[in-house]
Amino acid sequence: LVYVVIALFIERIGVDWVNRIMPPVVIGPTVAIIGLSLAANAVGDLQTSSLTGARTQFAVLVGIIALLGVMIASTYGKSHAKMIPFIIGILAGYIVAAILTFIGVQTGYEPMQILNYQPIVDLFANGISFSTFFKIPDFTFITALEGIKDIDLGYIGTIAVAYIPVSFVVFAEHIADHKNISSIIERDLLKDPGLDRTLLGDGVGSMVGAFFGGCPNTTYGESVACVAITKNASVLTIIGAAIECILISFFTPFVTFISTIPACVMGGVCMALYGFIAVSGLKMVQKIDLDHNKNLFVISSILISGIGGLSLSFGKITITSVACALILGIIVNKLLSKEPENTEENQ
C-alpha cells in the first residue's frame, strides 16, 4: 500500500529529483555493496554440507565446481547454454555432491556426506499415491477464511507502525536495483516505463503474493545479476519463468528435489551472482572522476559503512546496512556539493 501511494505521488512530480539526489557517485557504490554485503552469505553456504551442517573441504569442492559450471557455460557455452548457466552449474555441483555422498556413506566417512536425501525418503515413506506426485500448496486465503471474524482492528495499526517505515527503506533499495539494471540494459527504467510503474508493480505484486501465501515481493540483486550474465532482459521470459514456477510447485517430486540441493552448491552459484552485482556497481564508479576529493569521500563513506554492516534499529524497525550506506552517501554528497571559492590555492 505504501508503494502504491508513493507511485501515485511520483506520477505527479516526476523522477528528476531521484537523479539529483542519487547521481552515479552515490548509486554506483551502493549497488556494489548490495553484492559485497552478501559475500559472507555466499562463502558461508559454500563451506556448508547440507547433511551434517559442518564446514568441510568437500563442500567447498562441490561449491567451486558449481561456480565453474556457471562460468564455463556462460563464457564458452552455445546460445542455449548461455541462457541457463545457473541450471548447468547447479546440476554439475549436484552430481558431484551425489557421487561424494555415495562414497561417504559406503565408507562411513562423514565429511564426504553432503546431500540430505531425507526429504525424498519421507516423500515415499507412506507408499505411492496421487499426492506423492501432485499436491495443491497451502494457500493463505483458504486457510485464513475461518479466522477472518477474529481480526483485531487495533492490531492493524501496530502492523502499520512497524512496517510502513520499512517500506521506505526498501524503496531506496528498489531505486538502487533499478538504476543497476538500467546501466546493464542501457535504458533508464526510472523514466521508461517509469519509477511510478515499477513501484506500483512491486506494491501490487506484494499484496497479491501475500494473499496466496507467498513472500512479499521486492527487487532482488540476484535477478539483476541473472540479467547481466544471461544477457536476457525480456519481460516475456520473466513472465514465462514465473508461470512455470507456479505450475511446477504443484509437482511434488520436483519440489522435493529442489529441497535436497545442498547449501554448498547454492553458495557457489551465489558467488557468481553477488560478484556480478558488485562489479556492475563498480562499472558505474569507473566513469566517475576519482581525482576529485568530494567523489572519493562519497564513495568511501558508502563502501565502508555498507561493507562494515552499519545498521540502525528503532524499536522493531531496522534500517539495513545498504539503506544506511545509501542515506549516508546522499548526505555526504549534498554536504560536499558546494563548490569551493576560487582561491589561488584551489586553482
SS3 call for 262: coil
Largest CA distance in the chain: 87
Q: Over range 125-145, report the average pLDDT.
A: 72
Average pLDDT for the chain: 82
**CA-closest candidate to residue 318, choices 172, 173, 169:** 169
The predicted structure's pLDDT at residue 227: 83
- Chain-centre distance of CA 242, in angstroms? 16
224 or 267, higher pLDDT: 267
Q: Over range 311-317, report the average pLDDT.
A: 77
CA distance 60 to 65: 9
Cβ atoms of 233 and 184 closer than 8 Å:
yes
Cell of 209: 503474493
- 114-127 pLDDT, tens digit per residue, is 988 888 888 887 77
Written as one letter, the residue type at 143 is T
Measured CA angle at 65 (ends 64, 71), to 5 deg: 90
pLDDT above 50: residue 343: no
For the residues of 89-104, what is the DSSP string, one character each?
HHHHHHHHHHHHHHHH
SS3 call for 198: helix
At 148, the pLDDT band (50, 70, 90 cuts) reads: low
At 299, the pLDDT band (50, 70, 90 cuts) reads: very high
Cβ atoms of 301 and 332 closer than 8 Å:
yes
Q: What's the chain's length in residues?
A: 347
CA distance 11 to 194: 8
Q: How many CA atoms lie within 13 A of 225 on its CB side?
A: 24
Domain boundaries, the chain: 2-117+157-181+191-334
pLDDT above 70: residue 162: no
